[in-house]
Amino acid sequence: MIHQPIILVVDDEPNNIEMLAGMLDDQYELRFAVSAQEALTAIKEMPKPDLILLDVMLPDMNGYAICERIKEDPATADIPIIFVTSLGDPEQEEKGFAVGGADYIVKPCRALSIKARIRNQLEMKRTRELLHRLAITDGLTSLANRRHFDEALKQEMQRLQRQGGQLSLVLIDVDFFKRFNDYYGHPAGDECLRRIAAVIATELRRPADLTARIGGEEFACLLPETSLAGAYIVAERIRQTVLSLKMPHQSSTISDYVTVSVGVATSSGTEAAHLYQRADIQLYIAKTSGRNCVVQ
């Protein structure tokens, strides 16, 4: 985290807010809400809070209900919520955990204890985020991995069927890459894949585009709201830029340099199925019609 962690403090008592602020404002960026309504608005403010300290008894809605709301929304579900309340009986505490609370602190709270619990929750959140990033990232190229790509393709297909529009897919495969490895060695092969990955990532400019390494020397670009003509332009730019790197490939029979073959396909809401298979067939045609080309 580059910024100080942001904590949203939700409490309707000015005294409580003042006390928590005094304990925490040297280490954290604090935001405050004095009602459920304010809390539910504040939580949408970007950047999102990293943690919420939530009172249970509030004028407009109780803290448990607020917690459930926050946990229901995928955009906010990962924010840890610590209840800070004067309700000390075990049934209340159990309820706090049942609705998704990460911890439960009974007032009056001690500064050292509340700070330690906050640190723990923030540390666990950071670890969760790191593991999630690793789970969806390709270790060699830092592009998205196959798992991420499959999930994104599924979601984009569903969105297409709901909303219509166009979704394009570009599949890229390095030509004669087995020979490249045999000739230059595996470490050089890895470096070549990294350079191609960097080209692909640079050529994709829209935030919604996804670039993934989906196989050994195969890459995919998922392009929402992109026509076949638009995807073809991107694909052709990638093919040319890879060639312009002039990475020597002595054992290629079609060029002195590393080249890629590319297949492109587009789906609209009415016939969203088989997008991947269609792009794969175009890639196969690119391979059988000489390589170093784009087929749409």
- Residue 280 touches Mg ion, criterion: CB under 5 A: no
- Residue 251 touches ligand GH3, criterion: CB under 6 A: no
**Active-site pick, 217, 218, 236, 271:** 217
Minimal distance in Å, beta carbon 216 to ligand GH3? 2
- Residue 280 touches ligand GH3, criterion: CB under 6 A: no
Q: According to CB under 5 A, which residues from 47 to 106 bind Mg ion?
A: 55, 57
With CB under 6 A as the contact rule, the residue among 217, 234, 266, 279 that binds ligand GH3 is: 217
CA distance 85 to 36: 15
**Segment interacting with ligand GH3 (CB under 6 A) among 36-44, 128-136, 189-197, 229-237:** 189-197
Q: According to CB under 6 A, which residues from 163 to 182 bind ligand GH3?
A: 173-179, 181
Catalytic (active site) residue 217: yes
Minimal distance in Å, beta carbon 137 to ligand GH3? 15
Nearer to Mg ion, 28 or 219 (CB): 219
Q: Which does 189 bind (CB under 5 to 8 A by kind): Mg ion, ligand GH3, none?
A: ligand GH3
Q: Which does 12 bind (CB under 5 to 8 A by kind): Mg ion, ligand GH3, none?
A: Mg ion
Nearer to ligand GH3, 110 or 178 (CB): 178
**Active-site residue set:** 217
Site of interaction with ligand GH3 (CB under 6 A): 140, 173-179, 181, 186, 189-190, 193, 216-217, 287, 291
